[in-house]
Amino acid sequence: MPFPLYLCVHLRDFAAQALVCLNHELHFSAIVVLGGDPPLERVFAMNQRARQLGLATGMSRAQAESFPVVLLRRDHAKEEAAFAELIRCTEEFSPRIESIASPQEETCGATLVLDVSGSKRLFGNAQQIATSVQQSIKATGYEASVAIAHNAYAAVLAARGIEGVTAIAQGCEAETLAPLPLTVLELNDAQAETFAAWGILTLKQLAALPTKSLVARLGQIGFYLQAQARGEYSHLLVPTEQPDDAALCESMELDHPVEMLEPLLFLLSQMLEQVLQRAAERALAIAWVETSLVLDAASHAVHSEHRRIVRPALPERDRLTLLKLIQLDLEMHPPEAAVIALRIEAHPARPQRAQQGLFAAQAPEAGRLEILLARLRKLVGDGRVGAPELLDSHAPEAFRVTNFKIEHALSPRPVNTQQESHPSAMRMVRPPKAIAVELRGETPMAMHYEGTRLMLQTGSGPWRTSGAWWTHPAWSREEWDVVLKEEPQRCLRLAHDPAASCWYVIGIYD
Which residues contribute to the site for other proteins (CB under 8 A)?
A: 36-37, 39-40, 60-62, 65-66, 194, 197-200, 208-210, 212-213, 216-219, 390-394, 413-414, 416-418, 421, 460-467, 469-472, 476, 478
Q: Which is nearer to other proteins, 216 or 401 (CB)?
A: 216
By beta-carbon proximity to other proteins, the closer residue of 75 and 478 is: 478
Query: In angstroms, what CA-CA distances link 151 with 119, 229, 373, 497?
Result: 16, 11, 59, 75
CB 491, min distance to other proteins, A = 14
The smaller minimum CB distance to other proteins, of residues 36 and 257, is found at 36
Q: Which is nearer to other proteins, 224 or 449 (CB)?
A: 224
Residue 335 Cβ, how far from other proteins at the closest point, in Å?
33
* Minimum CB distance to other proteins smaller for 18 or for 209: 209
Q: Smallest gap, in angstroms, from Cβ of residue 278 to other proteins?
A: 39
Long-range contacts of 459-465 (CB under 8 A, 24+ apart): 459/483, 461/494, 462/496, 465/394, 465/395, 465/396
309 with 333: CB under 8 angstroms? no
Gap between the Cα atoms of 400 and 387, Å rounded: 8
CB 30 within 8 A of CB 47: yes
Strand partners, 190: none
Nearer to other proteins, 65 or 175 (CB): 65
Shortest spacing between CB 318 and other proteins, in angstroms: 37
- Closest approach, Cβ 389 to other proteins, in A, equals 8
* Shortest distance in whole angstroms from residue 193 CB to other proteins: 9
3-state secondary structure 115-154: ECCCCHHHHCCHHHHHHHHHHHHHHCCCCCEEEEECCHHH
CA-based nearest residue to 232, from 292, 319, 173 = 173
From the CB of 279, what's the least distance to other proteins, in Å? 38
Q: How far is CA 236 from CA 98, 216, 233, 302, 361, in A?
A: 10, 25, 10, 51, 55
CA distance 373 to 310: 12
Smallest separation, CB 482 to other proteins (Å):
14
Q: Between 191 and 269, whose beta carbon lies closer to other proteins?
A: 191
Nearer to other proteins, 216 or 297 (CB): 216
CB of 230 to other proteins, least distance (A): 15
Q: What's the rounded Cα separation, in Å, for the pair 421 and 368? A: 44
CA distance 363 to 315: 17
CA dist., res. 327 & res. 238, Å (int): 42
User: Quick one: residue 115, left, alpha or beta (phi over 0 = left, psi -120 to 50 = alpha)?
Assistant: beta
Q: Give the whole-angstrom CA distance, residue 198 versus residue 415.
A: 72
Q: In this complex, which beta carbon is closest to other proteins, that of residue 122 or of residue 401? A: 401
Amino acid letter for position 383: G
DSSP state of 114: E
